[in-house]
């Protein structure tokens, strides 16, 4: 199996008001957020991002880490599973000229509002059934996406990532190491349906046959 490695170490960390999210997190709010539509991306903050616009300060510092870790070049190919509006893809393409980037997202809203230069490279699709042949990409990346599925669906998504990659991949998932982090996770979470401890996730990766790298999202 792959390694626990924080490839997002240079991604800017946001300060979050967890107490406010606890008060706002009703089942109705969760249901709206899990539609991954306009409300989630560009609606009120309680439903998600509160406005999801491109800013180079987010992904541009991360791309060099990806480039070094995966030895990416202009001849490499990368799939972003849960690509949103294609911002990470855009920065990959900008900082590694010639690289092939593709993205899928379950959100038709996000795909319709993809950053202009990536529009031809994204499509609406489900992580449980990636619309690509086996071994299509040098690297498959999925950031804070597969945990939005139920446990068995999450396993299927991991198997799909394994299938379409040529041996290199990276996922981040909601996780916790102790009771304090667990409490914070459930306070912050809006969309994840599969949340486990880091040890449970590692066992799950073994169980599903996932051999890529991984790291945790802990608010």
CATH at residue 135: 3.40.50.150
Q: Is residue 150 part of a domain?
A: yes
Q: Quote the number of domains for the chain.
A: 1
Q: Three-class SS of residue 174?
A: strand
Q: Answer whether residue 4 is part of any domain.
A: no
- Domain hosting residue 155, numbered range: 18-217
Under DSSP, the state recorded for 4 is B
Q: Is 181 within the bounds of a domain? A: yes
Of the candidate ranges 70-84, 141-155, 174-188, the one whose mean pLDDT is the lowest: 174-188
Q: Does 6 reside within a domain?
A: no
Confidence at 184, pLDDT banded by 50, 70, 90: confident
Q: Does residue 167 surpass a pLDDT of 70?
A: yes
pLDDT digits (tens, 9 = 90+) for 128-158: 999 999 999 999 999 999 999 999 999 999 9
Indicate whether 36 belongs to any domain.
yes
3-state SS class at 13: coil
The answer as to whether 109 is a domain residue is yes
Residue 13 lies in a domain: no
The answer to whether residues 156 and 128 touch, using CB atoms and an 8 Å cutoff, is yes
**Rounded to the nearest 5 degrees, what angle is found at the Cα of 11, between the Cα atoms of 10 and 15?**
120
* pLDDT confidence tier of residue 188, bands split at 50, 70 and 90: confident
Residue 104 domain flag: yes
Please give the average per-residue pLDDT across 56-70, as a whole number.
98
Per the document, the length of the chain is 219
* Helix spans in the chain (H): 18-24, 27-33, 38-42, 56-59, 63-70, 87-95, 108-112, 151-164, 179-188, 198-208
Q: What is the mean pLDDT of the chain?
A: 94
């Amino acid at each position: 199996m792959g390694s626990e490695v924080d490839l997002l170490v240079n991604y800017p960390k946001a300060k979050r008001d967890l107490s406010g999210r606890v008060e706002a997190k009703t089942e109705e709010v969760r249901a709206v957020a899990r539609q991954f539509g306009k409300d989630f991306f560009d609606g009120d903050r309680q439903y998600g991002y509160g406005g999801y616009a491109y800013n180079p300060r987010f992904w541009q510092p991360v791309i060099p880490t990806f480039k070094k870790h995966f030895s990416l070049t202009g001849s490499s190919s990368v799939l972003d599973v849960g690509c949103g509006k294609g911002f990470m893809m855009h920065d990959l393409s900008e900082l590694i000229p010639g690289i092939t980037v593709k993205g899928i997202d379950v959100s038709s809203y996000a795909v319709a509002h993809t950053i202009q230069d990536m529009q031809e490279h994204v499509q609406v699709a489900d992580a449980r059934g990636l619309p690509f042949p086996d071994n299509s990409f040098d690297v498959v990346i999925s950031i804070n996406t597969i945990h939005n599925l139920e446990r068995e669906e999450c396993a299927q998504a991991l198997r799909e990532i394994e299938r379409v990659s040529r041996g290199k991949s990276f996922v981040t998932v909601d996780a916790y190491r102790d009771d304090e982090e667990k409490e914070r996770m459930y306070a912050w979470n809006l969309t994840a349906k599969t949340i486990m401890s880091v040890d449970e996730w590692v066992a799950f990766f073994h169980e599903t046959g996932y051999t890529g790298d991984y790291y945790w999202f802990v608010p």
